[in-house]
């Protein structure tokens, strides 16, 4: 059997790449090793800027529409902001990813579930080996997540990543999310709505014992009141802060999503970037088959990397000076952040606008720093 493109991985990045490719006329095979719908550890928060990239019918996947949130410090104090319009949507990953795969199949993608990619050989075409047999392809796309086997065959390893833990419990947040800093050295804790329940978790690039920190987070948090911690699972979230961190593959073997480290280093948001990366990858293959890798890299560096870079700069400041970052959240920073999630601002904009405020918020006197911030903003 022969395909234009074989895509490995039925997560958001793989399913979207396959759909965008087929919409442009390519013959595509998607292989997913698990049986669909499959579980994926994830808080399932989609920033609203993803909407134009989603297939028709996505609204039916939404469990909660987020219109605001709390930025907390150590689960004790918090700032709260709300917005008129949706800033994010909460979905269940098993159902949402299945929906994306079904949408790709509806467009004509051949989907092989419970099929594991085993390796590839390069010749005039690529020979792609799976546990269901071998196929030929012009291009191979690795959208196979953190432990990408396609990436491993290219000799790639993950260097920068969050370790994260998550569990679901009873709770009612409906339209708001909670993000708490001051809990781990470099990272944050979250409580997100999940339909009529909540997802509780934390992500860190530090060396803490995540389970121990999660327990004290839950015990002390004003919203959780020490609920039972059951069914905690852990997983890694890779990210990129430098151009060289992007692992995009080579020649006719290309990577996207977590496999490519296409995740923001501030929050670990990967779904939006994986889907956007899939669109860019599909366009690069279809429009420039002879230079697909070069075009793909150039476009990712121009259209995705600046966001990851500035998110990384914000992360470095915010996680090093967490008390100051929290103080700053009481000013205009949170409104700008909501604008970012809804697609009306970029991380670059956030970084540049917020830098002066941030320096001021390093001052120890909270009220005094707010007076200065207001004066500066009025002068702008």
Ligand X SMILES: Cc1cc2nc3c(=O)[nH]c(=O)nc-3n(C[C@H](O)[C@H](O)[C@H](O)COP(=O)(O)OP(=O)(O)OC[C@H]3O[C@@H](n4cnc5c(N)ncnc54)[C@H](O)[C@@H]3O)c2cc1C
**Which range touches ligand X (CB under 6 A), out of 67-75, 140-148, 283-291, 344-352?**
140-148
Helix 305-320 to helix 322-329 angle (10° resolution) is 110
**Which range touches ligand X (CB under 6 A), out of 143-151, 170-178, 334-342, 357-365?**
143-151
Neighbours of 245 (CB within 10 A): 20
Question: Does 307 help bind ligand X (rule: CB under 6 A)?
Answer: no
Q: Answer yes or no: are the C-beta atoms of 91 and 44 closer than 8 Å.
A: yes
Q: By C-alpha distance, which of 243, 251, 272 is closest to 343?
A: 272
Q: Answer yes or no: are the C-beta atoms of 79 and 181 closer than 8 Å.
A: no
Using CB under 6 A as the binding criterion, the count of chain residues that bind ligand X stands at 39
Sign for the CA dihedral angle at 357, 361, 363, 366 comes to positive
Question: Does 11 help bind ligand X (rule: CB under 6 A)?
Answer: yes
Q: Answer yes or no: are the C-beta atoms of 313 and 48 closer than 8 Å.
A: no
Question: Does 193 help bind ligand X (rule: CB under 6 A)?
Answer: no
In the complex, the smallest distance separating the C-beta of residue 286 from ligand X, rounded to whole angstroms, is: 20
Binding residue for ligand X (CB under 6 A) from 258, 285, 330, 361? 258
Question: Does 21 help bind ligand X (rule: CB under 6 A)?
Answer: no
Query: Cα(304)–Cα(267) distance, rounded to whole angstroms?
Result: 15
HEC-encoded secondary structure of 154-212: CCCCCCCEEEEEEEEEECCCCCEEEEEECCCCCEEEEEEEECCEEEEEEEECCCCCHHH
In the complex, the smallest distance separating the C-beta of residue 163 from ligand X, rounded to whole angstroms, is: 9
**Dihedral angle, C-alpha 214, 34, 97, 9, nearest 10 °:** 100
**Which range touches ligand X (CB under 6 A), out of 2-10, 54-62, 181-189, 213-221?**
2-10
The Cα-based distances of 140 to 66, 112, 126 in angstroms read: 37, 15, 8
What tokens appear for 40 in the block? 């994926």
Q: By C-alpha distance, which of 354, 265, 335 is closest to 304?
A: 265
Q: Which is nearer to ligand X, 145 or 312 (CB)?
A: 145
In the complex, the smallest distance separating the C-beta of residue 9 from ligand X, rounded to whole angstroms, is: 3
Binding residue for ligand X (CB under 6 A) from 19, 33, 194, 252? 33
Q: Which is nearer to ligand X, 132 or 375 (CB)?
A: 132
Question: Does 142 help bind ligand X (rule: CB under 6 A)?
Answer: no
In the complex, the smallest distance separating the C-beta of residue 186 from ligand X, rounded to whole angstroms, is: 16
In the complex, the smallest distance separating the C-beta of residue 12 from ligand X, rounded to whole angstroms, is: 5
Binding residue for ligand X (CB under 6 A) from 20, 117, 168, 347? 117
Question: Does 40 help bind ligand X (rule: CB under 6 A)?
Answer: yes
For residue 176, what are the β-bridge partners? 68
In the complex, the smallest distance separating the C-beta of residue 118 from ligand X, rounded to whole angstroms, is: 7
Q: Which residue is nearest to ligand X (CB)?
A: 270
Question: Does 48 help bind ligand X (rule: CB under 6 A)?
Answer: no
84-113: contacts with ligand X (CB under 6 A): none
Tell me the backbone φ, ψ of residue 344, rounded to 5 degrees. Answer: -100, 0
User: What track of x and - describes contact with ligand X for positions 220 through 249 (by CB under 6 A)?
Assistant: ---------------x-x------------
Question: Does 268 help bind ligand X (rule: CB under 6 A)?
Answer: yes
Query: Cα(69)–Cα(223) distance, rounded to whole angstroms?
Result: 13
The footprint of ligand X (CB under 6 A) covers 8-14, 31-34, 38, 40-45, 116-117, 143-145, 149, 164, 166, 201, 235, 237, 257-259, 263, 268-272, 274
């Amino acid at each position: 059997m022969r395909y234009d493109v074989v895509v490995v991985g039925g997560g958001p990045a793989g399913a979207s790449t396959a759909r965008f490719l087929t919409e442009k006329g390519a013959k595509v095979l998607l292989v997913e090793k698990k049986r669909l719908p499959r579980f994926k550890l994830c808080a399932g928060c989609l920033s609203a800027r993803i909407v134009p990239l989603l297939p028709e019918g996505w609204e039916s996947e939404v469990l909660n529409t987020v219109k605001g949130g709390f930025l907390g410090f150590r689960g004790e104090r918090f700032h709260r902001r709300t917005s008129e319009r949706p800033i994010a949507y909460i979905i269940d990953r098993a159902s949402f990813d299945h929906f994306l795969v079904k949408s790709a199949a509806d467009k004509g993608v051949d989907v092989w579930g419970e099929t594991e990619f085993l390796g590839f050989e390069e010749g005039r075409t690529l020979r792609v080996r799976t546990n269901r047999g071998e196929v030929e392809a012009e291009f191979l796309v690795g959208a196979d997540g953190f432990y990408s086997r396609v990436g491993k065959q290219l000799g790639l390893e993950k260097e920068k990543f969050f370790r994260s833990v998550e569990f679901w419990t009873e709770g009612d947040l409906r339209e708001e999310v909670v993000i708490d800093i001051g809990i781990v050295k470099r990272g944050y804790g979250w409580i997100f709505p999940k339909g009529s329940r909540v997802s509780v978790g934390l992500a860190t690039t530090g060396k803490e014992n995540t389970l121990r920190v999660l327990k004290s987070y839950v015990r002390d948090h004003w919203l959780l009141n020490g609920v039972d911690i059951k069914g905690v699972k852990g997983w890694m979230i890779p990210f990129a802060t430098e151009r060289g961190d992007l692992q995009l593959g080579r020649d006719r073997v290309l990577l996207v999503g977590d496999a490519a480290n296409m995740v923001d280093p501030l929050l670990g948001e990967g779904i939006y970037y994986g889907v956007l990366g899939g669109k860019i990858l599909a366009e690069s293959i279809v429009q420039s088959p002879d230079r697909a890798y070069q075009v793909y890299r150039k476009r990712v560096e121009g259209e995705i990397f600046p966001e990851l870079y500035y998110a990384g700069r914000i992360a470095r400041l915010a996680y090093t000076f967490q008390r100051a970052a929290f103080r700053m959240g009481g000013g205009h920073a949170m409104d700008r952040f909501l604008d970012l999630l809804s697609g009306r601002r970029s991380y670059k904009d956030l970084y540049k606008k917020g830098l002066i405020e941030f320096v001021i918020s390093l001052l120890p006197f909270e009220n005094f720093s707010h007076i200065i911030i207001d004066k500066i903003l009025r002068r702008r």
